Structure 1
Amino acid sequence: MSPKVIAAVRDGLRAAADPVKAPEMQAYMKSDMPFLGVQKPARVALVRSLPRIDDRDEWLDVVRTLWREATYREERYVALTLSGDRRFQSVALMPLFDEMIVTGAWWDYVDEVAARRVGPLLRSDPDVIRPLMLKWSTDADLWRRRTSIICQLGFKAATDVDLLTACIDANVDDRDFFLRKGIGWALREFAKTEPGWVRAFVEARPGLSPLSRREALKHL
């Protein structure tokens, strides 16, 4: 079935293509890969129309093929959506998510994987994912590092503050915009639950970038 599903995705995207929106979307995302001009509501409708896949290996083949063979960015968006099928989530998928992070290498892909794929696995299997996030926090790849910082978005009271601290402190001196923005984002979200903790955290780190500091304290 997988070739039929893959063909259905590609045909569906092309049928929904908007040549006027395509260059606008590509310019906004600063993407080398072209767009077809298919916006999120149409992509969601397409995914819902696809045949149900119950076999894990077949599902994984569809996700990998759409991701690896993509010629348009929307194909990767669909692959990313399909990768979240709750029936198949396990730590065994971390190589797939790692591939998406490293080869996607941009915030529209990475943030989805970090918060909606890696994050839930951190909740369910902290003994496996926590050490990996600590390792990623010092990785040469900045998108792995950003993932380690923002993977707890939405955890609220369940936030592992020691992990958050370690991942931020490992990157506090980095000048990369996406790391600085990610630090501020993670702290801003946690401030909704623990404002005092975040305020003290920021005050204790004079080396925190102005961007991170501003984002962290935005609503305090």
Structure 2
Amino acid sequence: MPESRSSPTAELPVVRAIRGGLRLAAHPERAAAMQAYMKSAMPFRGVRAPEGARIYRAALAAHPVVSREEWEAVVRELYDHAAYREERYGALHLFHARPHTRWRDADALPLLEHLVSTGAWWDLVDHASTAVGEILLQDREAAIPVLERWAAGEDIWLARAAIIGQRKLRDRTDFELMVRLIAPSVGHREFFVGKGIGWALREYSKTDAQAVRDFVAATPQLTPLSRREALKWLERRQA
């Protein structure tokens, strides 16, 4: 694919380092299989995840991002102007990088919404959505109305992100909020929504098994997929 990028942010050192590193690490013989597996219209460089992570870390170490404005510009450049999917993975690495924790707050929700809605596939959405829980813990009042809008809207990827966003919070999970975010999609037949509901419930079942059992029992509208996924860990534990 031609790599014509004329935006000013394309010349930022960290962007150039990531794109250059991916170009040097490319494995064309793997790229087609990776693209086919992901069912992606965007081609791959053929760079596997561990190798990509090393490239992203090295680029950021050599060229630290020093402001919120630069952080958002770099993330958007790599994400919106990607010629290869690994560039989008690099954008998400920079979005989630520990040095940028201070910028992943309620003011980052529009950027997160953009990443989810334009990513529109499970690999990108699931990675991006881990910031939901982080932002919730920092600023519930600002985050909850946004997540409720995502959950009630027509964009299945925003709904999935809202539903699964607390999956890593364990005992800090707001289960009542999770139930509210699930409610608009509880009988949804779309695979990625139904599976997301089950995944969120399954992860919380590792913290409060009875709460999940009670919710599943009291919610006959759950699809078989959501129900099966929700109870999977509990049933394996009992086997």
Do these two structures clear the TM 0.5 threshold for a shared fold by scoring above it? yes
Question: Does 2:146 correspond to 1:132?
Answer: yes
Give the deviation of 1:208 after TM superposition. Answer: 0.9
Partner letter of residue 132 of structure 1?
Answer: V
**Greater shift in the superposed pair: 83-92 or 207-216:** 83-92
CA distance, structure 2, for counterparts of residue 219 and residue 56 of structure 1: 40
**Residue correspondence of structure 1 range 174-189 to structure 2 within 5 A:** 174-189=188-203
Aligned position for 1:65: 77
The share of aligned pairs that are identical, in percent, is 46
Give the counterpart letter for 1:123 in structure 2.
L
Q: Which residue of 1 aligns with 2:116?
A: 101
Q: 2:21 aligns with which of 4, 12, 17?
A: 12
3-state SS of 2:129 partner: helix
Confirm or deny that 1:28 pairs with 2:28: no
1:37: how far off?
A: 0.4
Name the structure 2 match of 1:90.
Answer: 105
1:163 correspondence with 2:177: yes
What amino acid maps onto 1:44 in structure 2? A
Determine the C-alpha separation between the residues in 2 that align with 1:159 and 1:67: 29
**Shift of residue 91 of structure 1?**
1.4
Runs of 4+ off more than 4 Å? none
The match for 1:118 is 132
Q: Which runs of 5+ in 2 are unaligned?
A: 1-8, 235-239
TM-score by length of structure 2 reads 0.88
Quote how far apart the aligned CAs of 1:45 are.
1.0
Given that 2:132 and 2:162 are in contact with CA atoms closer than 8 Å, whether structure 1 keeps it comes out as no
1:56 paired residue number: 68
Q: How many residues align?
A: 219
Normalising by structure 1, we get a TM-score of 0.95
> How well do the aligned residues superpose, as a CA RMSD in angstroms?
1.3
Q: Is the 8 A contact 2:132 2:165 kept in 1?
A: yes
Gaps of 5+ in 1: none
The one-letter code sitting in structure 1 at the alignment partner of 2:213 is R
* Separation in structure 2 between the aligned mates of residue 55 and residue 163 of structure 1, nearest angstrom: 32
* Contact 2:116–2:157 (Cα < 8 Å) also in 1: yes
Shift of 1:3: 2.2
Q: Is the 8 A contact 2:14 2:64 kept in 1?
A: no
Instruction: Report the structure, 1 or 2, having the larger helix content.
Output: 2
Partner of 2:53: 44
Residue type of the alignment partner of 2:123: D
